[in-house]
Every structure is written in C-alpha cells, then in structure tokens.
Amino acid sequence: MQGGSGVASRHVHSPRVPRPARRCRTRHQPRPHGEGRVGNVSTARAFVVALRPRQWAKNLLVVVAPLGAARLFEVPVLIATALAFVAFCLVASATYLVNDVVDRDRDRAHPTKSTRPVASGALSPRAAIIGAVVLAIAGLAIAFATSIPLGWVIVAYLLVTVAYSLFLKHAPVLELALLALGFLLRAVAGGAASDIPLSEWFLLVAGFGSLFMAAGKRYAELVRVGESTGEAVPVRGSLAGYSPTYLRFVWTVSAGITVTTYCLWAVEVGGGTSIPWAMLSIIPFALGILRYAVDVDAGRGESPEEAVLADYSLAVFALAWAVLFGLGALGVG
C-alpha cells in the first residue's frame, strides 16, 4: 500500500513540463510590418492633402478663353481644354509641394499653414520633392502632347513659380506681380491649348483681374497675421514691405480697371447681336467683382478659390455671367 501510494504521490506532485508552442501558431499573429502599412496609408493621405486639390478650382480659368470665343463646346476644343486643366492641376500641385518644402520652417509659425503635411511632419521633404518631380513631368508631358504652345505656357508657369518659391517671394511688388502672373498664365493656357487668338481686352481683363486676386490674397494674409499675433509682425517676409493701405489701393485700382476693360471687351464681342447679351453680362460681372471685394476687405481672400466656393452669391453671379456672356459670344438673337 505504501509503495503504491508513493508511486501515486510521485505522479501527483511531479511538475508538468509546458509544451513548446507550435511554430505554425505564429502565422496567426500580427506581422511586424502591419504598422508599416498604416504608416503608408497615412503618408499617402498626407501626400494627397499636400497637393491642395481645393486649389485646383483656380485652374478653371483655362475655360475662359474658349468660352469667350464661343468654341468651348466644340469637341476638339473641349478635350484640349480638359487636358489643359489636368496638366495645370498636376504642375500646380508640383509647385505647391516645392513651396511647402522651402517654407516648412516658416509655415510652422503660421496660424493655419502649420497644419500643412510637410510643416507638420506628416510628409517628409524627400517624399514631397520626389512627388513634385513626378507630377511636373506628367503635367508637362500632357501639355506638350496636347499643344506645343500649351506646353510652353506650362513651362513658363513652372519656371515662374519655382523661381518665386526659391528666390523672389520676399521681394515686395515683384512677388505680387509674379503671383498675378500665375493667374494670368492659367487664362492664357486655355487659348494656347486650342490655338484660340487672345484679344488685347482679354489680356487686360485677365491681367488686372489676376492682380486684383493677388493683392486681395496678400491683404487677407496681412489681416490674418495681425489678428493671430496681436501685432503687425508678418510671417511671410514680403509682407513686411506692404501696408494694409497700400494693398487696399492696389486691389481697388485693379478691380476698377478690370471692370472697365471688361465693359470694352463685352461691347466688342457682343456687337453683332440684336439682344445685347454681352452687354447684359456686365451686370453680374461687376456685381461679382464687388462681392469678392467684400470678402477681400473682410480678410477672407487669402485663398481665392475657397472664398469663391464658400460664397453662394459669387457662384450665382458667376453662373449668370457665364450664361449671358456665352449667349453673346455665340451670337444668339
């Protein structure tokens, strides 16, 4: 009995040796590089944000010349205009990436630009530059494949914008002119894409309209920085050379010249119709300029495309203008 109990006790008290885990079970555990996938998704999202797709609305200026010539809805012209829009979106986004890399330290001190992907660290400068090169090459390829003149307009825009970002953005007045030139080249691109001749009135309207938007943008930046810091200390270097009074003068004069030259342009285009459609289009055009001036004066013109998209009155004026001017350009009536 004692021997049996001793054997039993040895069985009861003998330690259990844990079995080694099977290797195949590790296949069901999360892989170490799973976190990398999340990081890649975050980087891709940051890259898309850095492209500033909301600002692509500015590239709709390419439709102005074909619309004014009453040729926008010709299939070849419509295709060429659409390709010009795509090319400008790609190249413009490339320049945004370059600008964000150059200005990343300064943007970190800005009340709103500090959230940009490069400034916030969500997108590395190296990734931004690589993306900029790819986008620029793609945009130029599309532009030259569409039209040689369009390709050279895009090249001019790319050179002007890169030079602005690297060297000229801190030179008052000159940087304002270059900023306006960027808007003007968008309008010119629409004519270059389909070989549509541009009248002197068109260039004057587009040029001074661009200066109006550029001066309004700088004025809004100056107002925003003053409100955020409580001081007149600007974040952008070129703002040190401006005063609110000077910028108000520039956009006021530009707005006046834009409306005046548009009136002359509308008279020239709509002279052959019994119903003065183009003349009537002066009304929504002038009201649109005046309404946008309200936004600029309130300091909401820092992003012209966002101000336009957020202001329903501007959208109504723009639609009314497009209909009336289009009817005049088509010679209806």
Over 70: is that where the pLDDT of 144 sits? Answer: yes
Residues 214 and 104 in one domain: no
Among 153, 183, 198, residue at a domain's last position: 198
Choosing from 198, 233, 256, the residue where a domain stops is 198
Assess if residue 33 is contained within a domain.
no
Q: Judge if 191 and 60 occupy the same domain.
A: yes
Q: 129 and 76: one domain?
A: yes
Q: Are residues 217 and 95 in the same domain?
A: no
19/310 Cα distance (integer angstroms): 67
Looking at the structure, tell me whether residues 193 and 203 fall in a common domain.
no
Question: What percent of the chain lies above the pLDDT cut of 90?
Answer: 39
Question: What's the confidence (pLDDT) of residue 228?
Answer: 55
Give, as one character, the DSSP assignment of residue 271: T
Residue-wise pLDDT tens digits, 242-277: 888 899 999 899 999 999 999 988 777 665 667 888
DSSP character for 54?
Answer: G
Confidence label for 6 from pLDDT (cuts 50, 70 and 90): very low
How long is the chain?
333
Domain's final residue, options 198, 223, 238: 198
Q: Are residues 209 and 175 in the same domain?
A: no
Task: Give the mean model confidence (pLDDT) for residues 204-211.
Answer: 92
In a shared domain, residues 236 and 279: yes
Considering the domain boundaries, does residue 34 fall inside one? no
| Structural domain count of the chain | 2
Same domain, yes or no, for 285 and 148? no
Using a CB cutoff of 8 Å and minimum separation of 24, what contacts does 182-185 make? Answer: 182/157, 182/210, 183/58, 183/61, 183/209, 183/210, 183/213, 183/214, 184/210, 185/153, 185/156, 185/157, 185/160
CATH of the domain at 72: 1.10.357.140
The domain containing residue 239 runs over which residues?
199-333
Most confident of 151-155, 290-294, 310-314: 151-155
The answer to the question of residue 310 being in a domain is yes
58 shares its domain with 159 = yes
Among 174, 34, 44, 196, residue whose Cα is nearest residue 117 = 44
Predicted TM-score (pTM) of this structure: 0.77
